[in-house]
Amino acid sequence: MAMTYEEIKAKVKKYGQEQVLKYVDVLTNAEKETLFAQIEATDMDVIECCKHKEDMAKRGVISPLGAMELSEIEANRESFTKTGIEAIKAGKVGAVLLAGGMGTRLGSDNPKGMYNVGITRELYIFECLINNLMDVVKQADAWIHLFVMTSDKNNDATIKFLTEHDFFGYNKDYVHFFKQEMAAATDYNGKILLEEKGKLSTSPNGNGGWFISLQKNGLLDLVHEQGIEWINVFAVDNVLQRIADPCFIGATIQKNCAVGAKVVRKAAPDEKVGCMCLEDGKPSIVEYYDMTQELMDAKNEKGEPAYNFGVILNYLFFVPDLEKMMENLPLHVVEKKIPYLDENGNLVKPEAPNGYKFESLVLDMIHQLSSCLPFEVVREHEFAPIKNKTGIDSVESARELLQKNGVVL
């Protein structure tokens, strides 16, 4: 049974969020119903955490975690690849494409994967990823289940686009979509903003929600039915991403790790990437903004920087260990540009951040697992993220890297 108007009023009062009902008198019954359903579904406890943001960012004791480096990988390539291919052939490997983000920095209203990186021809980000995955499908001679995480904001456009393009040649029986959850966005005082008179401002709740959302959408049943044991989670925006890489899979399996993480050697100690480490003795990632000078200067026994491997959002999780994960992921309070209605009820699209969104991150899942294999890959071959239109990690830099890797644009 849906909440009554009295119950809705009581809920928003309890959390000091009465402003969300400001326009309730001018809404139609249908609009009211939608707004009330949204208010009912919104977890308002999490919003409280922006009031003690600093405590949330507290870290444990950080110490180094070595990676499996290129030389070791080369020496074992054949054996790792064989193990990986066997796992794929046995249907034990699936992939999750994280495509629920808003891509605000790229500045397009479409899902990021619809971005055309081609120059003389059309070549979409989704197409690049599927081409990369197809390499493995051909090598293993087996299809791999691909789960695509979208959000309320881009789900329909994503499905329409991929369907219209016939999944760029991928077997559609092996593609499954699921939506992640949304979280309310607030101003700097923790007050939920409205984006319409009958609609809260919301944004996707971060890429850490992927496993719970997969489960809520009933797709974990498919994972079980198919006997999928390993899930390769990867970001939509790295067009050189190797997906379900047999060598990486084989190495993680042979080393008996709960998770594998693809990493690249950092370009400089202060490079803005999350870095693999141990935190209170468990695998973790130290974010670039938490990198102290001391951590940047630390050396290992070989005299090399001790925190030298950055993560590229490509992880291989062992499903049984994911299912044992009991703790909730920590929330990150992120400053963002949030469209909102001003005093007079007019929609404003701010040019600068004006409030907070609340996200959980996939990298926090690593810390809940007992063992992690950081697996080094060659940056120029596997890391071309598209975050911005120009400059660092942009369409321009990714095009250059694609061409260097022989992709015709």
Residues that bind ligand UTP (CB under 6 A): 98-105, 112, 149, 180, 204-207, 235-237, 313, 359, 387
In the complex, the smallest distance separating the C-beta of residue 149 from ligand UTP, rounded to whole angstroms, is 5
Which one, 254 or 388, has the nearer CB to ligand UTP? Answer: 388
In the complex, the smallest distance separating the C-beta of residue 207 from ligand UTP, rounded to whole angstroms, is 4
Question: Could you give the count of Cα atoms lying within 13 Å of 283 in the half-sphere of its Cβ?
Answer: 20
DSSP secondary structure code for residue 280 in this structure: T
Q: Which residue has the tokens 């899942």?
A: 365
Q: What angle do CA 378, 380, 382 make, to 5 degrees?
A: 65
Which one, 101 or 355, has the nearer CB to ligand UTP? Answer: 101
Which one, 209 or 374, has the nearer CB to ligand UTP? Answer: 209
- 201's CB contacts (< 8 A; 6+ apart) are 184, 185, 192, 193, 194, 195, 338, 339, 340
How is residue 136 written in tokens? 């493995």
**Alpha helix segments (H runs only) across 286-394:** 293-297, 319-323, 363-366, 379-382
In the complex, the smallest distance separating the C-beta of residue 47 from ligand UTP, rounded to whole angstroms, is 17
Distance in angstroms (rounded) separating the CA atoms of residues 150 and 204: 9
Q: Which residue is nearest to ligand UTP (CB)?
A: 101
Distance in angstroms (rounded) separating the CA atoms of residues 118 and 245: 25
3-state secondary structure of 297: helix
The 3-state DSSP composition of the chain as helix, strand, coil percent (nearest 5) reads: 40, 25, 40
Distance in angstroms (rounded) separating the CA atoms of residues 211 and 141: 27
Distance in angstroms (rounded) separating the CA atoms of residues 180 and 209: 7
Which one, 23 or 383, has the nearer CB to ligand UTP? Answer: 383
Which one, 205 or 252, has the nearer CB to ligand UTP? Answer: 205
In the complex, the smallest distance separating the C-beta of residue 359 from ligand UTP, rounded to whole angstroms, is 6
In the complex, the smallest distance separating the C-beta of residue 18 from ligand UTP, rounded to whole angstroms, is 28
In the complex, the smallest distance separating the C-beta of residue 216 from ligand UTP, rounded to whole angstroms, is 15
In the complex, the smallest distance separating the C-beta of residue 154 from ligand UTP, rounded to whole angstroms, is 9
3-state secondary structure of 241: coil
Q: What are phi and psi of 184, to 5 degrees?
A: -70, 145
Is residue 74 packed enough to be buried (19+ CB in 10 Å), middle (13-18) or exposed (0-12)? exposed
Which one, 38 or 76, has the nearer CB to ligand UTP? Answer: 38
Which one, 79 or 108, has the nearer CB to ligand UTP? Answer: 108
Which one, 113 or 260, has the nearer CB to ligand UTP? Answer: 113
In the complex, the smallest distance separating the C-beta of residue 238 from ligand UTP, rounded to whole angstroms, is 8
